[in-house]
Amino acid sequence: MSSDSSITISIVSHGNTDTISLLLASLQKHENELKRFRIILTDNLQNDLPDFDPAPWASLQIIRNKTQLGFAHNHNNAFAIAQGRWFAVLNPDLIFERPIFDHLLERLKVYPNTILAPQVVDENGHTQDSFRPMPTPLELIRRRLPGYTFRSYQPDRDGLIHPDWAAGMFWLMDADIYRRLGGMDIRYRLYFEDVDFCARARLAGMEVLGDTQIKIRHDARRASRRKFFYLMLHTRSALRFFTSPVYRKALQQR
């Protein structure tokens, strides 16, 4: 297997053994050329994940954190040991229901300087709001008001969406993009890492694309709406982003 076709997949677990087992099983069921995949699992609880069978894959490594780290920090650590041309960030609660990677890689041949994401749907096939415009403080408030519904982007004639940012539940990109951007900003904790990463990518002349021709299933969990601790993290990250030079420059770019 050439390094040019090798895909490193980074997945972070916070007690997600069951969902990661389902994710890996669905990946193995639907994808071709399993030996092109290098799986890096990060056990953010140190000894929660079992030792998964590495046999189906080119490699399977588990990083066991001695202390819990944030979303950005964990994926950056995984990238530091990644191999091959392609790097993917996946949530642990995704399910593959069809082949995805061959199609996405074909897209990246046409749009090489791109962070690419498939359309994310829930278990009922309903589209989730994973492709979004640049957030504003007012928009964050509106999202929590009764009756709020998001407006889906309309795809172009090739089935592509051109959002300001794509939620970091599934990204695929040339590893050089992640490297050139210096990874995600570890000063964010659990929220806005993906917003900041996509904003910096677009400021650097890269593109963020959503592919509506390919779908991945996701069991969404809105923790920030249920627990004060997560709401606090969300608020703190939002304040950091909205007062950052990246946000000011991104607004000027629009």
Instruction: Calculate the alpha carbon distances from 181 to 80, 123, 161, 168, 203 in Å.
Output: 13, 33, 22, 15, 10
Alpha helix (H) residue ranges in the chain = 17-30, 71-80, 101-110, 137-142, 175-180, 193-203, 228-242, 245-253
pLDDT digits (tens, 9 = 90+) for 140-190: 888 777 877 777 789 999 999 999 999 999 999 999 999 999 999 999 988
pLDDT at position 228, please?
A: 76
pLDDT at position 41, please?
A: 98
DSSP 224: G
Pairing, β 207-218 against β 114-121: parallel
- Work out the pLDDT band at 254, boundaries 50, 70, 90: confident
Nearest CA to 246 out of 187, 190, 171, 189 is that of: 187
**pTM of the predicted model, to two decimals?**
0.93
Instruction: Calculate the alpha carbon distances from 12 to 91, 95, 142, 208 in Å.
Output: 7, 15, 30, 22
Helix 71-80 vs helix 193-203: crossing angle, to nearest 10: 60
- Work out the pLDDT band at 30, boundaries 50, 70, 90: very high
- Work out the pLDDT band at 84, boundaries 50, 70, 90: very high
N-to-C CA span, the chain: 41
Q: How many whole angstroms separate alpha carbon 166 and alpha carbon 137?
A: 18
Annotation: CATH topology of 7-253: Spore Coat Polysaccharide Biosynthesis Protein SpsA; Chain A (3.90.550)
